[in-house]
Amino acid sequence: MSVCALAVFLTLAAQPARADETGNSFWFPGQFGSLAAVPTTPGWSLGTVYYHASVAASGGVAAAREIEIGRFTPNVNVSLNANLNARADVVFLAPTYTFASPVLGGQFAAGVTGVFGRLDTSIAGTLTAAAGPIVAQRTGTISDSLTSVGDLIPMLTLKWNDGVNNWMTYATGDIPVGAYDPNRLSNIGLGHGAIDVGGGYTYLNPATGHEFSGVAGFTYNFKNPDTQYTSGIDFHFDWGASQFLSKQFFVGLVGYAYQQVTADSGQHPILGPFKSRVIGIGPQVGYIFPIGKMQGYLNLKGYGEFDAANRPSGWNTWLTFAISEAPPESTVTPTRHLVTK
């Protein structure tokens, strides 16, 4: 079999381990965390996140085919096992404006996230074809790298506060303007639009320093016009728990659960329907500090992933720096960070 044909089979074989078409869903699990639903100080803010992920996946396909050779059409069993490895280094920039005037009794904010980064992907596999006692085997590797811009991601949030209880609802989506090519292994852009809605809760007790946050949502994916592939509806839940050791410094745990609730459609028939799943958990540390008349926020969190299905898994880290309007001096309640992505 030619190298070109093997490359096609390698790409096909990786897909059972990559639901959500490219293996990367619109929602980045872990983008919400501690203090997610706590209202912020009105005015402009800018969040910057450096995201690093290293993931791997394995998959295989098998099929029986009749191949015409002269007057004969023997039945050939073809199987392929492939291993995918990927590394992502991405920067998210999220300017946001929080309005002072209440909306439906809550605090309204609007922002947009821009994406820039690099993705390195490789697939190595072995193709085996057997016809009776005759067995042929071929191995190969294909790889691809891309450094470019990603899609635009607008977000609207509405938050309410009642003592130690805080609630939020949000709506976001994907505007597919980033670098995307269906013939590449590595893509920073998603290749299709998406809408995501959800809500969350934060318990924050300034007297004890206890905090817990949880945010859940659903993603609806539109059809990819280049591939005619439609990713399924996704459910995600991000959470964070922390203990403030002072008014400025806290430590804790973060985690997420991600599950496709409907299968993808449009994949090659031999792959069949599939859904992706992954769970992650890890530590976090955060620090809130003054910058002149502004307020700065640093957060470092990391996740180790497990129980993955039809999706690459591994580990990822998030380093967040956000700057915003400082709260009034009389305010003693710790304020949340200002980054979604």
Containing 3, the helix (H) or strand (E) segment is helix 3-14
Report, as an integer, the average pLDDT of 309-329. Answer: 89
d(CA 282, CA 291): 29
* pLDDT band, very low/low/confident/very high, at 183 (cuts 50, 70, 90): confident
Cα 59 to Cα 12, 96, 123, 332, distances in angstroms: 10, 41, 10, 52
* pLDDT band, very low/low/confident/very high, at 127 (cuts 50, 70, 90): low
Least confident of 35-44, 120-129, 194-203, 314-323: 120-129
d(CA 340, CA 320): 10
Report, as an integer, the average pLDDT of 148-173. Answer: 97
Nearest to 197 by CA among 168, 177, 222, 167: 168
Q: What pLDDT, on the 0 to 100 scale, is given for residue 332?
A: 43
Amino acid symbol at 10: L
Q: What pLDDT, on the 0 to 100 scale, is given for residue 130?
A: 62
Q: What are the φ and ψ backbone dihedral angles of 65, each rounded to 5 degrees?
A: -135, 145
CB 19 within 8 A of CB 276: yes
Give 240-278 pLDDT, tens digit per residue: 999 999 999 999 999 999 999 998 887 654 455 568 899
d(CA 284, CA 30): 11
Amino acid symbol at 264: D
Question: The tokens of 204 are what?
Answer: 């924050």
* pLDDT band, very low/low/confident/very high, at 1 (cuts 50, 70, 90): very low
Nearest to 107 by CA among 319, 335, 265: 335
Nearest to 62 by CA among 134, 140, 127: 127
If one counts every other C-beta atom within 10 angstroms of the C-beta of residue 80, the result is: 21
d(CA 151, CA 164): 36
**Could you give the 3-state DSSP secondary structure of residue 68?**
coil
Report, as an integer, the average pLDDT of 140-161. Answer: 93
| pTM of the complete model | 0.83
Nearest to 29 by CA among 231, 242, 303: 303
User: Has residue 318 got a pLDDT over 90?
Assistant: yes
> Per residue in 205-218, is it b (16+ CB within 10 Å) or e — as a string?
eeeebebbbbbebe
Q: What pLDDT, on the 0 to 100 scale, is given for residue 78?
A: 54
d(CA 217, CA 234): 8
**Could you give the 3-state DSSP secondary structure of residue 130?**
strand
Q: What pLDDT, on the 0 to 100 scale, is given for residue 79?
A: 58
d(CA 120, CA 190): 15
Q: Which domains does the chain have, with CATH numbers?
A: 23-56+87-120+145-325 (2.40.160.40)
Report, as an integer, the average pLDDT of 33-60. Answer: 90
Q: What pLDDT, on the 0 to 100 scale, is given for residue 4?
A: 39
User: Has residue 65 got a pLDDT over 50?
Assistant: no
Least confident of 29-33, 123-127, 263-267: 123-127
